[in-house]
Structure 1
Amino acid sequence: MQLTVSIDLASPTRNTAVTISYKNTVKHTLKPSLHPYLNGAWTPNFDELTATDLEVIGTIPSDIDGVYIRNTENPVHEAIGHYHPFDGDGMLHAMVFKDGKAEYRNRFVRTKGFDAEQEAGEAIWAGIANNPKKSKRPGWGAQGYLKDASSTDVVVHAGQVLSTFWQCGDGYRLDPFTLEQYGAERWTPLDGISAHPKVDERSGEMLFFNYSTYPPYQHYGVVDSNNKLVHYTPVPTPGPRLPHDMAFTKNYSILVDLPMFWNPTLLEQGKYHAEYHPELPTRFAILPRYGTAEDAIWFEASPTYVLHWMNAYEDGDEIILDGYFQDDPDPAPLPGLPPAAGKMMANIDLCSLKTRLHRWRFNLKTGEVKEQHLDERALEFGTFNQRYAGTKSRYLYSVWNEPGMFLFSGLVKHDLETGDSWELPFGEQRYGSEAPFAPRINAKDEDDGYLVSFITDMKADRSECVLIDAKDIEAGPVCRIILPHRISSGTHATWADGQSIRAYQNP
């Protein structure tokens, strides 16, 4: 169906007619709530839209071709027990750019769990803050009784979107331009796919890992450019672990054994309680891309927890890896709240975790590890030009958060060669998303392109998509595209080149 909707936009925009060519409202039972991750900037959406003729403040550049896609935890039903912000259903928001025009759409990821709850008209699975036995059916994930919401990460590989779940699920494929659903990935191993598979744009390969509560506890795999599983091998750890991300270089893949994991005694009782062990090191397994556990070289470094790695590359006998080191992986509960709620809030607050941009250097010959903070600000959820993934890169783009909340308040650009950095605050009560780098058509330099982000503006009660010149982020957005509805805040996002997608779709 096609609707023409009149949207009254505040100055300096004009009134405009937005064309809504598709609208669908999913079944939902979620009631208005005072839960901080169910209202305000995290208020869920229940409508799926396709919209063109969007209002634009500024001019959409004609030298950008591709699609920006962001994943979001977006619950639709009343939770079984306590709601955690990582429990929501996966919703993808996408903005397609071509020839100076933009088209917006959003869709729920039709996972097996989402479809089952739509049919039931209620929640079937309990979330991570609850006893798994409260779930009404067996489920997915390392805990076994969770819903695979496919709500954490999103990449584009072999011409298709792949959405993934942080506790390991099926992985779901969609069309990058239309968000048409192709269903669960067929090659998914028994233990699923963790969030944060890595796409090597040079080879077209995708590298992934998973983890479980039974031996060997962790696996690693490679999927080729035709979406065929070509390598899958165990990389054992001493027990169940909670890795969240991996990294790669031209020749090596990097997995981790972090000193934050479920209490083994409680795990035997079916209880999942993560504990930090500062007496243990952070361990890194570096293995050839098509290697096995026997080929892995293990390194030990300072204890921490790391949610997200940035780039890694080879430099002579060394491998250099950048990521976000947590100075306090086990923060005290935020004050003024019940202890359990305060602890949950602190565990997803970058300021409480004290996340620092950090560099590790691993010497493959001597086994030596050197490491240092690169910035003392609380930063995370970084991006860089993915054409440089696995090779030396100069620029990195991070976000900082609203203290006490899982909301992104601004961007920082780092020059890793000079140590210089530049900031762009999003503005009062304006909250952004992870901002991937989108190269200009015929880009000449590493930072010759745009950072793309969805912004939710609470004062104006609307959302927009912004393009920021990566060479000069302090200048602010070059254009702002007003969305047809206010969307909930979200985290992980990706940029995919339009020409590359079309080459896969029309070989």
Structure 2
Amino acid sequence: MTLTSHPTGNPAGSTTGATSRYLRDNFAPVAEELTATDLTVTGQLPDHLDGRYLRIGPNPAHDPGERYHWFMGEGMVHGVRLRDGKAEWYRNRWVRPAASDFAANTNVLEHAGRTLALVEAGSPPYELTHDLETVGPFDFCGTRSPLPGRAGFTAHPHEDPATGELHALSYSWLRGNRVDYSVIDTAGRVRRSVQVQVHGSPMMHDFALSEKHAVVLDLPVTFDVTMATADVPRPARPLVRGLLNRIIGRNPVPEPMIAFAARGSADPGYVLPYRWNRDYPARIGVLGREAAAGSIRWFEIDPCYVFHTLNAYDDGDTVVVDVVKHPRMFDTVMDGPDEGPAVLTRYTLDLATGRASETGVDQRSQEFPRHDERLTGRRHRYGWAVGFEGGTTGDTVLRHDLDTGRTEARRLGPGTEASEFCFVPHPDATAEDDGVLMGYVFDRESGLSHLRVLDAASLEDVAAVHLPGRVPAGFHGNWAPIDG
């Protein structure tokens, strides 16, 4: 293995004495950008894997202070290039934003031949090179105008496997009580964009897509003016809060104010101004993909919060959506998601009666659900997730059989911490679970991470790619195949 490092001068790698749990142990940021070639592999990588496994997460470039929220650190992408049964390289690179943007830190994927780093409710997508260097903001090939102002995109678009189009549900406190449902075509252009009215100003991390519908989650975590203005000088707070309370959750912020907010967004203060709102109704909306925004149907559900959906599909007059459901969020714990066990849950939305029913699928605490994305919006049988322990990932990968109701669990080994695993199908697959799972795993004893490849059906080891450094606990990753 050949290794080169690129010191950045950032003090982020020093976390001795850090008070935030999200700056210690495997949450601690790394301070160097590394490039390693000819990586050591144990086991046998499948020859058909030709592409890059990419994953992103927060990696503060400067000391964020005691009020640090895990979601707010600058983004760093980690990638491994696989080809012909070998691991050719590993790279980690910061996403380097323009002065007025916050660095994307939540998801990274390939669309329209571009590698895009994403964050919700703030900056636009950022395009990266094949080698993970920052190109700059992506404006959807000049069609960004239907997506208002600088209010950002989404962290969780979903691609329709039939059309190759990317569907997105974007929110921001700048939009008032409106969220944007948009469709990005295979060339990277905005084909459709409609504004959907919601109850107020909610945090919408994800949505779901069925073959006919977009599924909107309007849930009681909302923008909090008091938190957002905590650093405003005391004499000015009443005036600022009064002004914001007249706007937030009601009307879009005027364009001059959007521009002003954008100029100040390069220093976010590392505080996430969203919290649990007991007075906000919990509901799920169903909107026809090509329908007018006003035709959305709303279904009341019990209060909860959902970061991630597994998948959704149409079943006659019902829409079925599988989610990981949290009992609440940012109520008593404000620096990260840790408000009780998050469990796999199925909602069935009856379009004929207007009622929603809820079924528990698996009661183990878990997150980062994934499915075979060839079935996005179609009936699925299997889903995979990572077990959580005390607000952080443990060493367990879960395989759910939604037809039988059976869940299998694989422990990866003492002293290991799993991250999100994504499913990559075999190119000649005939079964839904014929493929592999890929995810970074941290080993506490060695202090290093590796890319673990598991058989998706049995959860047994296939291979491991050993990395020269640590991949901190982060968010989302995807397989980016090389076409042709």
When normalised by structure 1's length, the TM-score is 0.80
Q: How does 1:461-472 map to 2 (within 5 A)?
A: 461-472=447-458
Choose which of 325, 332, 348 in structure 1 pairs with 2:337: 348
Choose which of 86, 89, 100 in structure 2 pairs with 1:101: 86
Choose which of 76, 88, 95 in structure 2 pairs with 1:91: 76
Return the offset for 1:277.
Answer: 4.0
Return the offset for 1:465.
Answer: 0.7
CA distance in 2, matches of 1:222, 1:166: 16
Matched, 1:486 2:470: yes
- 1:256–1:364 CA distance, 2 compared to 1 (3 A): same
CA distance in 2, matches of 1:202, 1:33: 50
Query: Quick check: 2:203–2:219 contact (8 Å CA) kept in 1?
Result: yes
CA distance in 2, matches of 1:373, 1:153: 28
CA distance in 1, matches of 2:17, 2:422: 32
Q: How does 1:2-401 map to 2 (within 5 A)?
A: 18-20=1-3, 23-30=5-12, 31-35=14-18, 36-79=21-64, 82-102=67-87, 103-112=89-98, 116=99, 148-175=102-129, 177-187=130-140, 188=144, 189=147, 190=149, 191-213=151-173, 214-263=175-224, 269=241, 274-278=274-278, 280-329=280-329, 332=332, 343-344=333-334, 347-349=336-338, 352-401=339-388
- 1:72–1:281 CA distance, 2 compared to 1 (3 A): same
Query: Quick check: 2:436–2:456 contact (8 Å CA) kept in 1?
Result: yes
1:185-227, Cα deviation, whole Å (9 max, x unpaired):
1134322102111122321111112223343432111110110
Q: What corresponds to 1:12 in structure 2?
A: none
Query: Quick check: 1:154–1:164 contact (8 Å CA) kept in 2?
Result: yes
Aligned-pair Cα RMSD in Å: 2.2
1:454-491, Cα deviation, whole Å (9 max, x unpaired):
11111122111110001101x3x221111022222222
SS at match of 2:71: coil
CA distance in 1, matches of 2:68, 2:128: 27
Amino acid across the alignment from 1:329: M
1:119-140, Cα deviation, whole Å (9 max, x unpaired):
xxxxxxxxxxxxxxxxxxxx55
1:387-415, Cα deviation, whole Å (9 max, x unpaired):
11110111100111232x43343111000
Return the offset for 1:172.
Answer: 0.8
Return the offset for 1:320.
Answer: 0.5
SS at match of 2:29: coil
- 1:379–1:57 CA distance, 2 compared to 1 (3 A): same
CA distance in 1, matches of 2:347, 2:201: 24
1:49-70, Cα deviation, whole Å (9 max, x unpaired):
3322111122222132332111
Identity among equivalent pairs (%)? 32
- Consecutive unaligned residues in structure 2, runs of 5 or more: 229-239, 246-271
Return the offset for 1:382.
Answer: 0.8
Return the offset for 1:331.
Answer: 5.7
Choose which of 445, 448, 456 in structure 1 pairs with 2:431: 445
Query: Quick check: 2:120–2:171 contact (8 Å CA) kept in 1?
Result: no
Amino acid across the alignment from 1:344: M
Return the offset for 1:73.
Answer: 0.5
Matched, 1:413 2:384: no
SS at match of 1:243: coil
When normalised by structure 2's length, the TM-score is 0.84
CA distance in 2, matches of 1:42, 1:396: 26
Query: Which stretch shifts more, 29-38 or 295-304?
Result: 29-38
Amino acid across the alignment from 1:318: T
SS at match of 2:69: coil
Return the offset for 1:168.
Answer: 3.0
Query: Quick check: 1:448–1:471 contact (8 Å CA) kept in 2?
Result: yes
- 1:445–1:373 CA distance, 2 compared to 1 (3 A): same
